[in-house]
Amino acid sequence: MSITTKSTQEIERMRVAGRLTAEVLDYIAPYVKSGITTGELDQLCHDYIVNVQGCIPAPLNYAPPGYRPYPKSICSSVNHQVCHGVPGDRQLKNGDIVNLDVTVIADGYHGDSSRMFQVGETSVQARRLCEVTFECLWLGIVQVRAGAHLGDIGHAIQQHAEKSGYSVVREFCGHGIGAKFHEEPQVLHYGRPHTGVRLQSGMVFTIEPMINAGKAAIRTMADGWTIVTKDHSLSAQWEHTILVTETGYEVLTLSEGTGRQPAWIS
């Protein structure tokens, strides 16, 4: 496994890519309402990334081994869709929860982030799942510092999710990121403390827990990309791009529109 640490110049480029990624999510937030289609949200994001930011939407035509090229510029995962939902004609309706996942390439470097959005009046169960998943994200983030281990991140996420009565999706995980969309290491959202790769200052990776209200089992839809829960239970995900520092971490995809770290998590 070859894990790269980023140079000072690379980190600066990744700060820009992260800021622009967060900016897209801030831009699209007011449009996420009942009646809009996921395809319209995708087109709005695409036009903003390309025409306003002068950047590239990384998912468009992305084709890792074994996959057909991804046909859209963002991922939109609604209700029981876990991740990689392909935008299309689906209209959002009151009570839906939707994850929008945005990756921007700026000056050759990637920023990657996703947020949950709630459409109109959602159920107590849906709101709680979104809230607990957000807490899982931050419980993972605060483990990050030089000398800690990847297992510390996964353990913190798994403990909180399962204590809350939820399950952690295991087939998908966070990842290193930089000049490439997906780099080493893999960042699992479950695990044991003090195990796995030892973190070093200059590493950059995503933390992006996918938490199901029901069981952890998933399946892939016919489009080859969209992942759903097998039991049709709701699923939620939040994601940030994180830089490891000597004293802790820096969240590269933070913005004014991003929910802040819960006060009780430190």
- Annotated binding-site ranges for substrate: 84, 182
Q: Are 169 and 210 in contact (CB under 8 A)?
A: yes
CB 137 within 8 A of CB 239: yes
In the chain, the amino acid numbered 96 is D
User: 51 to each of 43, 45, 56, 135, 171, how far by Cα in Å?
Assistant: 11, 10, 10, 34, 35
In angstroms, what is the C-alpha Rg of the chain? 17
19-42 burial code (b ≥16 CB/10 A, e <16): bbbbbbbebbeeebeeeeebbbbb
From CA 135, how far away is CA 264, in angstroms rounded? 10
Q: What is the 8-class DSSP label of residue 104?
A: E
* Cα→Cα distances 198→178, 187, 195, 207, 242, Å: 19, 12, 8, 16, 15
Which backbone phi and psi does 107 adopt, to 5 degrees? 55, 35
Binding-site entries: 84, 101, 112, 175, 182, 208, 239
Only one residue has tokens 């009570």, namely: 95
Which residue ranges are tagged as binding site for a divalent metal cation? 101, 112, 175, 208, 239
**Pair of tokens at residue 67:** 């996959």
Burial of 139 by CB count in 10 Å (0-12 exposed, 13-18 middle, 19+ buried)? buried
